[in-house]
Structure 1
Amino acid sequence: MTTRGILLANLGSPAAPERDAVRRYLNEFLMDRHVIDAPWPLRRTIVSLILRQRPEASAKAYGAIWRDEEPGSPLLHWSERLADALRQRVNIPVALGMRYGAPSLEDALKALTAASVDEILLMPLYPQHAGATRSTTIERARTLADRRKLLVLPAFYDRPEYLQVMRDLLSQELPNDADHLLFSYHGLPERQIRKADPTREHCLQRPDCCEAPSSAHAGCYRHQCLATTRRLAAGLTIPHSTSFQSRLGRLRWLTPYTEEHLGELAGAGVRHVAVACPSFVADNLETLEELGIKGEAVFREAGGHRLTLIPCVNDRTDWADALAKWTTLPREELDLT
């Protein structure tokens, strides 16, 4: 009889809000060919330049959100709580691994091996598909899984359970006096969107590329983000918009950029903006610091009065229930590797 184990996976964070720890984390993260898709010599040069100054600034940013209790990383804190909640709902082994940093995917797979698991259901905790999140996580897990069967939960941006959890979250957390709702997603270079297009002639080639039917949508991050917004905004009466955050480097990334868009909203008369982050399931540096601290400062400096950051789904009961339901999905609804 096959024994299935669950591998929850998220991106990761540094071990401490200190320059050296952040430098090690960023080096591992940025040297991934899925993150900076340049030939190794060029990628090494680019990353080495980034690591001259960014670790110190990033360490300061992490320090602003680091928890006093262990684990200090908010991402790891919420991921561990979610894993514990899932264990309470299923009768099979559950392990948590990060693509970068600790606990590593290797550590998680060793734990599943110790539990005599011979079939692994990898659940990448990224709602939309992107090479820099899902692809790299799946590739690494496949390598480490060796000869064990690896099943993968598909991107869940359009699954009814995830959408209902998000709708309930918005219903509970959206302030009554907010006059605009911004859906902010992690950004990607436009170059990576085009590169992921299997047709090589659809993505970003026409203004309505994300609405026009195409096989490219199955792996198109932008399409899946905009589709998430459409589904979540249906029925809402508050004005809303979509933007993309966390731009790195000089390449053109998906637009509009969140920081600039916040300024534009304030300039247009929005006084209280609420920000939701549907590309993250656990609060982290990009939500708590980039939006909750820096984003609010940008909005206020541009004339806005208040920014309310809506929390991620984190360890919500209904979110843990949804994951537990997905652990029983039949193989035909899962991706085989």
Structure 2
Amino acid sequence: MNNTDLSQETLILGIETSCDETAAAVVADGKRILSNIIASQVKWHQKFNGVVPEIASRKHVELISPVIEEALLEANVTLDDIDAIAVTRGPGLVGALLVGLGVAKGLSYATKLPLICVNHIEAHILANFLEHPNLKPPLIALVVSGGHTALVYMGDFGEYEVLGETLDDAAGEAFDKIAKFLGLGYPGGPIIDKLAAKGNSKAINFPRAMINTNNYDFSLSGLKTAVLNYISKLKAEGKEVNIPDLCASFQAAVIDVQIHKTLRAARERTVDEIVLAGGVAANKSLRERLKKEAAKIGKELFYSSLPLCTDNAAMIACVGYYRYRKADKYGEEIVCSLDANADPNLSLVKEI
């Protein structure tokens, strides 16, 4: 039950359905979370060792209305109290995106509330602002998740420059594929992170692809192939695979490149603050090592608590708030048309 007077605050209803979490949240003034409801679909996708788009879309249809109702109830508000509706437009699975966007459009049309379309990657970055009120741009963001791996320079709210991104597999995708090959289960990231803590990260010298290139791009396909070939070779020779050592060595190869390029970007852009965002930001080893290495060169690392690392709607509402405030200044072009379509490949660019 929320007993705070909300009359002077801007309330945003956020809706997120980009992949396999159906989520809705109410956030006040872009920083105070009144509710953050997440209905996970992991149990439906686990037996396939990955997200099945058709199943994800159907589950979103089933869950979206009760999730929104629960978010409003927990926040102790009604749609009459809401100032705007923010929804993920992309990137993500097109069928999943269409469910959330369609519901948000319907609510906007029925209530006459502004509809604000949000970039999912931007939302992951801004999730950090929900828990770190003193955090301010400019900053460097390392976004690592199941579908995205990118280095982003954030000059201001709504102003972004993608410095580099993965040329093939995203970090989370690579973790899932290795876990699947080893029969460890899904999602692979948390499983590999836990096993890696018991292993020797220097046991196997896997390649650090593109670590010395002059750009900020990443490539994980070669590393993934090297790991799979290593496992196949041992099996062919009748030898056992030391799973903890393999997980630790694989994870170290991923993290080494990410840390090296993130710190180089922070130095070259002369920013003192770095944020870690996305589902893989929950990786304990990545958090600890990046924080330690950043401190050595006078940079400070910020990351969210685990619930805000994964897909959620509070981060969507947070972006919605800042875009809503810019709508007051720049006009209605910041507000989405009811004709807006889902964009599974939506790019993160300077918005205003």
Calculate the TM-score normalised by the size of structure 2. 0.33
**Going by fraction, where is strand more abundant, 1 or 2?**
2
By relative contact order (CA 8 Å, sep 6+), the higher-ranking structure is 2
- Structure index of larger Rg: 2
